[in-house]
């Protein structure tokens, strides 16, 4: 495989590939065939069994649960492309009468879907014109970083974590994805030059690539917990908690509580990602000389790169601006409300992408930074996939199934103390966030936990805050968070790898929340 082939592999989305499109060993191919065959049979069986079980559930909730279980099986085993699995589920929801077609498809107009579209188009421009490679060279050129794949991955995760504290998790991952792809292209070339991989290796199957992409997605989720404005669930949960308990959580109080927890989570994340996806190569030889040579080849910024920088810079500035306003004026101010309502991240992403079709590279020939043929190459399958995830999330809430699951499980387990209720809240939020957006998880779970705590004569502050933190989890599936879906759309992270890594970090994250949150709340003196 030539260097051109390596570059091309990372510039084309390849989220779902058939067995014939991958370079697999006989053992891997047998496993993949078995997994997909089992899924093809198991999905309808699971759905039918769930429909026929004599459960004490309203018909609409039981039908939704049955369809959702079947779709999850399709997503995990991949007998059909994952977006098609979502389509099958949406069709079943309408055919079985859970919702009308208009009700089911309305969430496809979600702002998050437009964030995906705009971000993918920006990433396509950065890849096409070489700007992603320039950013990759900058990261690799940091002192002491570029000679070790471990340090590259950890440093990139730290950058992601810090940025996502003030920029939305989705926007952070969207703007750093091209840089991650550029870094991975460089590492793949160095591995090829050093003879670490065979000539015909598949760059989309490198463990180092999966580790880098998962650190990008999960690092953003961890960093989003650092401030109240880092992630939508934070604002939702904080508002519900303050309303229920009368205790105000200031920006500073939140950060004092969150910093130690997030620091421990980041260490756990680095350990999990690098152990589960151990890079094929640890030491990168000759990086400094190679980076210097590549920088010389890149030369000065081209007109297309300058235009891409303008579009990218405009987008990032508008993404960051609401967070700056929140720091200055506070999240309760009318100024923040007006700015955040108007600078919706989906609208900003589409606006930034539109600039690429307005900024010329050769005006006399009416040639612009991007052509529509470039935009058409983005991974529309991931856009479809996350849209179907939003649909299931909205139906879980509107049908009452999420509340039924929460209250029923609470009664079954008999939670009655702060510790047990905190553990239950974290677990429930993680489970719900695996099949719907983290925003929906916070909106659904926190209102469930508060009355359960009041009934059990427990102060709801800590359990509700645990649910708020845990709602930003959900690391197992592409539909769990927008950032998961974005890195899955790169084609570099197999669904089985995401599940294996995600479930490990889910468990560790839940333990850290339950163990550290009550301590930090006591330190701050909020409860």
* Structure token digits, residue 53: 């079980």
Q: What are phi and psi of 449, to 5 degrees?
A: -70, -40
pLDDT tens for each residue of 313-333 = 888 788 778 878 877 887 778
Range in 255-259, 294-298, 469-473 the model is least confident about: 294-298
Q: How confident is the model at residue 113 (pLDDT cuts 50, 70, 90)?
A: confident
Name residues whose C-beta falls within 8 Å of residue 522's C-beta, 6 or more positions apart in sequence.
none
DSSP 104-151: HHGGGG-HHHHHHHHHHHHHHHHHHTTHHHHHHHHHHTSTTTTTBHHH
Q: What is the 3-state secondary structure (H, E, C) of 452-468?
A: HHHHCCCCCHHHHHHHH
At residue 409, does pLDDT exceed 70? Answer: no
Share of the chain above pLDDT 90, in %: 18
Min mean pLDDT across 10-14, 31-35, 38-42, 59-63 is at 10-14
Q: What ranges do the domains of the chain cover?
A: 302-378
Residue 3: predicted pLDDT: 55
Instruction: Report how far residue 463's alpha carbon sits from residue 424's, in angstroms, rounded to the nearest whole number.
Output: 8
Classified as helix, coil or strand, 283 is strand
Pick from 222, 129, 128, 133: which is nearest to 173 by CA?
222
Between 521 and 390, name the one with better pLDDT.
521
What is residue 410's predicted lDDT score, i.e. its pLDDT? 65
Backbone angles phi, psi at 362, to 5 degrees: -140, 95
CA 105-110-115 angle, 5° bins: 135
Given a cut of 80, whether residue 98 has pLDDT beyond it is yes
Q: What is the pLDDT of residue 89?
A: 85
DSSP letters, 322-369, are HHHHHHHH-TTSHHHHHHHHHS-HHHHHHHHHHHTTTSEEEGGGTEES
- Rounded to a whole number of angstroms, the distance between the first and last alpha carbons of the chain is 60
Residues with Cβ < 8 Å from 352, sequence gap 6 or more? 118, 122, 311, 312, 314, 315, 318
- 470: helix, coil or strand? helix
Rounded mean pLDDT of the chain?
81
**Beta carbons within 10 angstroms of residue 55's beta carbon:** 14
| Cross-strand bridge partners of residue 362 | 367
| 522's tokens | 């006591």
47 has a pLDDT exceeding 70: yes
**For 361, phi and psi rounded to 5 degrees?**
-105, -35
Average pLDDT (298-310) is: 86
Beta carbons within 10 angstroms of residue 8's beta carbon = 13
Which of the four pLDDT bands, split at 50, 70 and 90, describes residue 5?
low
What's the mean pLDDT in 107-134? 74
CA 36 to CA 358: how far, in whole Å? 44
Report pLDDT for 33. Answer: 83
Instruction: Work out the pLDDT band at 513, boundaries 50, 70, 90.
Output: very high
As a whole number of angstroms, the distance between CA 253 and CA 244 comes to 18
pLDDT class of 469 with cuts at 50, 70, 90: very high
CB count, 10 Å around CB of 100? 11
- How does pLDDT run across 140-176, given as a tens digit for each residue? 777 877 788 898 899 888 888 887 876 678 777 877 8
Segment 343-356 mean pLDDT: 81
Query: Rounded mean pLDDT of 381-396?
Result: 68
- Confidence band of 10 (pLDDT split at 50, 70, 90): low
- Which pLDDT does position 328 carry in this prediction? 84
Phi-psi region at 429: left, alpha or beta (left = phi > 0; alpha = psi -120 to 50): alpha
Higher pLDDT, residue 5 or 465: 465
170 touches 291 (CB < 8 A): no
Task: Please check the confidence at residue 268 and state whether its pLDDT lies above 90.
Answer: yes
Q: Cβ(221)–Cβ(476) under 8 Å?
A: no
Residue listed under structure tokens 């690098």: 274
For helices 207-223 and 251-276, the axis angle rounded to 10 degrees is 170
pLDDT (0 to 100) of residue 20? 64
* The pair of three-digit structure tokens given for residue 39, joined into one six-digit string: 């899924």
* Residue of 77 and 389 predicted with greater confidence: 77
Helix/strand/coil percentages in the chain, nearest 5: 75, 0, 25
Residue written as token pair 């469930």? 448
Residue 394, sorted as left (phi over 0), alpha (psi -120 to 50) or beta, turns out to be alpha
Model pLDDT, residue 201: 67
Question: What pLDDT sits at residue 451?
Answer: 78
Least confident of 115-124, 223-232, 355-364, 472-481: 115-124
pLDDT band at 8 (very low <50, low <70, confident <90, very high): low
pLDDT over 70 percentage in the chain: 85
Burial (CB < 10 A; 0-12, 13-18, 19+), residue 392, is: buried
Residues 175-195, mean pLDDT to the nearest whole number: 80
What local confidence, expressed as pLDDT, does residue 17 receive? 63
CB atoms near residue 361 (< 10 Å): 16
More confident residue, 109 or 98: 98
3-state secondary structure of 407: helix
């Amino acid at each position: 495989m030539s260097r051109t082939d390596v570059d091309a592999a990372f510039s084309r989305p390849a989220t779902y590939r058939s067995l014939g499109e991958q370079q697999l060993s006989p053992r891997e191919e047998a496993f993949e065939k078995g997994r997909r065959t089992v899924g093809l049979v198991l999905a309808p069986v699971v759905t039918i069994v769930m429909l026929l079980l004599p459960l004490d559930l309203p018909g609409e909730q039981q039908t939704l649960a049955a369809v959702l279980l079947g779709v999850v099986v399709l997503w995990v085993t991949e007998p059909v492309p994952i977006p098609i699995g979502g389509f099958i589920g949406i069709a079943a929801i309408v055919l079985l009468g859970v919702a009308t077609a208009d009700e089911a498809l309305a969430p496809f107009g979600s702002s998050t879907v437009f964030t995906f579209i705009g971000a993918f188009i920006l990433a396509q421009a950065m890849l096409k014109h070489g700007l992603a490679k320039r950013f990759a060279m900058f990261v690799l050129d940091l002192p002491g970083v570029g000679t070790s794949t471990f340090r590259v991955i950890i440093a990139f995760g730290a950058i992601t974590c810090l940025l996502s504290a003030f920029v939305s998790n989705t926007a952070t991952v969207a703007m750093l994805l091209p840089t991650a792809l550029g870094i991975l292209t460089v590492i793949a070339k160095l591995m090829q030059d050093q003879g670490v991989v065979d000539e015909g290796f598949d760059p989309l199957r490198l463990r180092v690539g999966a580790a880098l992409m998962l650190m990008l997605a999960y690092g953003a989720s961890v960093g989003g917990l650092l401030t109240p404005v880092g992630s939508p669930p934070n604002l939702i949960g904080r508002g519900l908690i303050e309303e229920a308990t009368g205790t105000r959580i200031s920006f500073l109080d939140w950060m004092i509580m969150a910093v130690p927890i997030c620091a421990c989570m980041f260490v756990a994340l680095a350990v999990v990602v690098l152990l589960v996806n151990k890079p094929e190569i640890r030491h990168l030889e000759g990086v400094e000389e190679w980076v210097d040579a590549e920088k010389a080849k890149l030369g000065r910024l081209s007109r297309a790169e300058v235009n891409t920088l303008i579009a990218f810079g405009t987008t990032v500035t508008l993404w960051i601006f609401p967070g700056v306003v929140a720091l200055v004026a506070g999240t309760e101010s009318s100024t923040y409300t007006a700015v955040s309502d108007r600078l919706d991240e989906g609208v900003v992403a589409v606006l930034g992408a539109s600039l690429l079709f307005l900024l010329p590279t050769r005006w006399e020939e009416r040639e612009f930074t991007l052509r529509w043929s470039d935009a058409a190459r983005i991974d529309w399958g991931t856009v479809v996939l996350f849209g179907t995830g939003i649909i299931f999330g909205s139906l879980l809430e509107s049908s009452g199934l999420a509340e039924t699951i929460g209250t029923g499980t609470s009664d079954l387990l008999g939670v009655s103390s702060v510790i047990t209720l905190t553990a239950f809240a974290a677990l429930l939020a993680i489970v719900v966030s695996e099949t719907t957006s983290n925003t929906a998880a916070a909106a659904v779970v926190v209102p469930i936990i508060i009355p359960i705590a009041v009934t059990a004569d427990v102060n709801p502050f800590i359990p509700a805050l645990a649910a708020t933190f845990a709602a930003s989890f959900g690391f197992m599936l592409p539909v769990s968070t927008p950032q998961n879906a974005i890195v899955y759309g790169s084609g570099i992270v197999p669904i089985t790898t995401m599940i294996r890594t995600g479930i490990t970090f889910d468990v560790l994250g839940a333990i850290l929340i339950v163990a550290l949150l009550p301590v930090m709340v006591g330190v701050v003196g909020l409860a």
